[in-house]
Amino acid sequence: MTLKARLLRELKAIDGKNICLGIARPIFVIISICTVCAYLGGFHQILELTTHYRLQYLLGALFTLILYAFSRRRIEVLVCLFCVGLNAIEILPWYLPAPSPAATTPLRVMLSNVLTSNERYGDFLNYVAEEDPSVLVLMEINDTWQKQLGPVRQRLPYFLEIPDSDNFGIALYSKFPLSNALGQYWAEERYAPASITANITVDGKPLTLIATHPLPPLKPDYFSQRNAHMVEMADFVNKQKNAAIVMGDLNMSLWSPNFRSFLKTTQMRSNRQGVGIQPSWPVDIPLLRIPIDHCLVSRAIAVKTSRIGKDIGSDHYPVIVDLAI
């Protein structure tokens, strides 16, 4: 038999069913394992990483469900349905509206992890001018970024900047005078990135602002330090007499057990409640995008709108939230 004839024979032996199974099998295995592991994120930093991708698990489970249904694989179809159900239960509640307090004073806040190595300063400054927030939180500013932020300081003249060369610089800017503006170092061990706390008054209503950027949980010590950071920050929030707003790249998604614990402990509400997932990172890989940039508010504060901003050259999108105080 000639090589050409052999290839034609082998190609004829490949049918649509086998192709579907070949595509579905690796996706099916990964999604099934990760869907379950995501419930164990509080135990280990690797398990924590699986909590980020609930939306991807849902879409992948739906895709493999269709392929297995076409191939008439009953057990796999049932497992896919189970994964679809588990992930839908985690995602859909974020689209349900939250109770809204009777607050009337508007306040636009914006947060942006600018990326230390990003040199698109003009694009960022133009976007701040376009959105015109009353409160702005920046992460990953270094000395170079600080030198470029003069127009921001003119627009929002009350500020505290703590630049850092190691991707954990942070800054808070406001149109309202800041009082008790301090750098905070929660859960200080080997290295505690700076957070900023300050008070402002908006239309006679006092608010506590918290800008923060915990460590990414990529190593065991970072994982424990990040979790301790969140616990101590929750304790700080609970000691405040004012309503509070927490803004920052928290290096955790909506489905992290530690994120849920923080919301439960502080009784705060996410900017995404009622508007959906709104993934913010990474900009360059849409299929892997996850919601790790957050604005959390006390229940006396209403979230009117929340949206993801434009590409300003960072690996994170800005987040813009319109509040009512």
Per-residue pLDDT of 148-166, as tens digits, reads 999 999 999 999 999 999 8
User: How much is the pLDDT for 8?
Assistant: 54
Half-sphere exposure of residue 106: CA atoms within 13 angstroms, side-chain side: 8
Same domain flag for 69 and 164: no
For 101, the token pair is 């307090």
Same domain flag for 59 and 150: no
Where a domain ends, among 57, 72, 94?
Answer: 94
User: How much is the pLDDT for 11?
Assistant: 47
Confidence of residue 249 (pLDDT cuts 50, 70, 90): very high
Same domain flag for 8 and 30: yes
Amino acid, res. 77? V
User: How much is the pLDDT for 236?
Assistant: 98
The number of folded domains in the chain is 2
Same domain flag for 75 and 137: no
Is 212 a residue whose pLDDT tops 50? yes
Q: What are 276-304's pLDDT values in tens digits?
A: 999 999 999 999 999 999 999 999 999 99
Same domain flag for 151 and 299: yes
Look at 246 and 73; give whichever has higher pLDDT. 246
Tell me the C-alpha distance between 116 and 300, whole Å: 35
The CA-CA-CA angle for residues 220, 224, 230, to 5°, reads 145
Task: Say what the pTM is.
Answer: 0.92
Handedness of CA 246, 299, 271, 227 (dihedral sign): positive
Same domain flag for 33 and 20: yes
Same domain flag for 21 and 123: no
Q: List, in sequence order, every residue forming a beta bridge with 109; answer none if it has no partner.
A: 135, 321
DSSP string, 161-190: EE--TTTT-EEEEESS--EEEEEE-TT-SS
Same domain flag for 66 and 126: no
The CA-CA-CA angle for residues 108, 112, 114, to 5°, reads 150
Owning domain of residue 237 = 99-324
Tell me the C-alpha distance between 95 and 188, whole Å: 36
Tell me the C-alpha distance between 136 and 107, whole Å: 11
Same domain flag for 67 and 197: no
Classify burial at 31, counting beta carbons within 10 Å of its beta carbon; exposed 0-12, middle 13-18, buried 19 or more: buried
Strand order in the sheet with 293-297: 179-184, 195-202, 205-212, 243-249, 293-297, 269-270
Q: What are 15-41's pLDDT values in tens digits?
A: 555 666 677 788 889 999 999 999 999
Q: What are 172-194's pLDDT values in tens digits?
A: 999 999 999 999 999 876 578 99
Classify burial at 210, counting beta carbons within 10 Å of its beta carbon; exposed 0-12, middle 13-18, buried 19 or more: buried
Tell me the C-alpha distance between 170 and 196, whole Å: 8
